[in-house]
Chains A and B, each alone.
Chain A
Amino acid sequence: MPEGSGIPAPGPLRGFLSSLRTLAWLRWRLITGALARRNRGRLEQISSTLSLVLRIVLGLAATGFAVALTIGAVIAALHYDRPEARKFFALVSGFLFSLALVFTAIFAGNSGTGEMLSSSRLQLLPLKRSTLHRLQVAAALGDPMVLALVPALVAFGLTLLVRGQLAVGAVALGAGLLVMLFLAAFACAIAGVLQLLLRGRRRREVFLLLVAVGFASLSLGPSLLGLHTHTAGKPSPDDERVLRLRFRTLTENAPWAPPVLYARAVESASTEGLGGAAPALLGLALCGGLAYAVSSAAARRLHASPATNARTSSATGEALGRLPFLSSAVGTLAMAQWRSLSRTTLARMGFLMTPLMTFVIARGLGNIATYAGHWAAAPAALAAIAGPLTLIGLNQIVVNQFAFDGHGLARQVLLPVSATELVAARRASSLLFALGVGLPTLFVAALAGPRVSPLVFVLVALGTVGVARVCLPCALLLSAMLPKTVDPSRLGRASQPHQGAVLLWMPLVAAVTAPIWLAGWLLWSHAGPAAALAAAALWVVLATLIARPMERGAAAAFSARREALLLVASGR
Chain B
Amino acid sequence: MTETSAITAPNSEPAVETRGLRRLFGDHVAVDGLDISVPRRSFYGFLGPNGAGKSTTIKCLTGLLAPSAGELRILGLDAVRDELEIKRRIGVVPEDLALFARLTGGEHLALVGRVHGLSVAQLAERSAELLVLFDLESAAAVPTSDYSHGMKKKLALALALLPAPQLLFLDEPFEGVDAVAAQQIKSLLTGFVAHGGTVFLTSHVLEIVERLCDHVGIIAAGRLVAQGPLAELRGGAATLEQRFLELVGASGRPAAELDWLHA
Contact = CB atoms under 8 A, between A and B. Distances in A.
Contacts of A489: 102
Contacts of A344: 102
Interface stretch (A142-150, A305-313, A469-477): A305-313
B74 to A, nearest CB: 13
Interface string B232-263: 00000000000000000000000000001111
Q: Tell me if A's interface is mostly helix, strand, loop or mixed.
A: loop
Specify which of B96, B111, B262 lies most central, judged by the most chain A CB atoms within 10 Å of its CB. B111
A411 interface: yes
A309 B66 CA distance: 35
B225 interface: no
B115 A413 contact: no
A339 B102 contact: yes
A5 B261 CA distance: 7
Interface in A405-443: 405-411, 413-418
Contacts of A311: 139, 142, 146-147
A340 B98 contact: no
B100 A406 contact: yes
A201 interface: yes
Contact of A410 (B64, B85, B111): B64
Interface in B71-88: 84-85, 87-88
Nearest to A310: B146
Given A329-B114, A333-B115, A201 B87 contact: no
A309 B64 contact: no
A563 B263 contact: no
A331 to B, nearest CB: 8
B98 A407 contact: yes
Contacts of A318: 106
A340 B102 contact: yes
B141 A316 contact: yes
B151 to A, nearest CB: 9
Contacts of A332: 110-111, 114-115
B99 A408 contact: yes
A563 B23 CA distance: 13
Contacts of A5: 260
Contact of B94 (A310, A414, A415, A418): A414
Contacts of B143: 201, 315, 343
Interface residues of A, number: 46
B57 interface: no
Contacts of B105: 317
A312 B142 contact: yes
Contact of A411 (B100, B102, B146): B100
Contact of A340 (B100, B159, B263): B100
Nearest to A319: B110
B107 A319 contact: yes
B140 interface: yes
A328 B1 CA distance: 12
A413 B64 contact: yes
Interface string B83-127: 011011000101011111111111110111011110000010000
B117 A336 contact: no
Nearest to A410: B98
A566 B64 contact: yes
A364 B261 CA distance: 72
Given A3-B263, A562-B66, 9 more contacts: A5-B260, A39-B28, A201-B145, A328-B117, A336-B107, A340-B101, A407-B100, A409-B98, A416-B84
- Leading 7 A-B pairs by shortest Cβ distance: A317-B141, A408-B100, A410-B98, A416-B87, A2-B263, A411-B98, A332-B114
Interface of B: 25-26, 28, 62-66, 84-85, 87-88, 92, 94, 96-108, 110-112, 114-117, 123, 138-143, 145-148, 159, 260-263
26 contacts: A2-B261, A3-B263, A4-B263, A201-B146, A311-B139, A311-B147, A312-B146, A318-B106, A319-B106, A320-B111, A329-B115, A332-B110, A336-B100, A336-B111, A339-B102, A343-B143, A407-B98, A408-B100, A410-B96, A411-B108, A411-B159, A413-B64, A416-B84, A416-B85, A416-B115, A416-B116
